[in-house]
Amino acid sequence: MTSQLDKIKRWAARLKRDVIALWLAARDPRTPWAAKIVAAAVAAYALSPIDLVPDFVPVLGWLDDLIIVPLGIALAVRLAPRSLMTELRETAACRTERPTSRLGAAAIIGLWLAAAVLIAAWLARRFH
């Protein structure tokens, strides 16, 4: 009988493999454009060293890891051809290095900066 922890570990390993498969799918010319865009966005976010909501924020910090990323993966996998995803998952499972996404990190930093500017503008109007 497998423990719940073993099931969670296998689920997490599949998520990691699928993120790498999506990273590969975003660069594969056989991937349809819609799947390529979603795959690139999900992979960039998941591989970014910076989270949209930092993990130290109670509850919300883990929502992206537990809900947003798996839902994004599910959508991207659904948009890509099944045979292609099977091939890319096999390739991803054989990779020893985890790619990183500087573009994803830049996008997250850009979102944080835009939010800071909007909040500063709102505060300036409110108290000026």
pLDDT digit string (tens) for the chain, length 128 residues: 568 888 878 887 888 889 889 989 999 999 999 999 999 888 888 877 666 666 666 777 777 677 888 888 999 999 999 999 999 999 998 876 666 667 767 777 787 788 889 888 998 888 87
pTM, full prediction: 0.67
| CA dist., res. 91 & res. 116, Å (int) | 40
Q: Which domain holds residue 25?
A: 4-127
| CA dist., res. 30 & res. 13, Å (int) | 25
Count of structural domains, the chain: 1
**Predicted pLDDT at 55:** 67
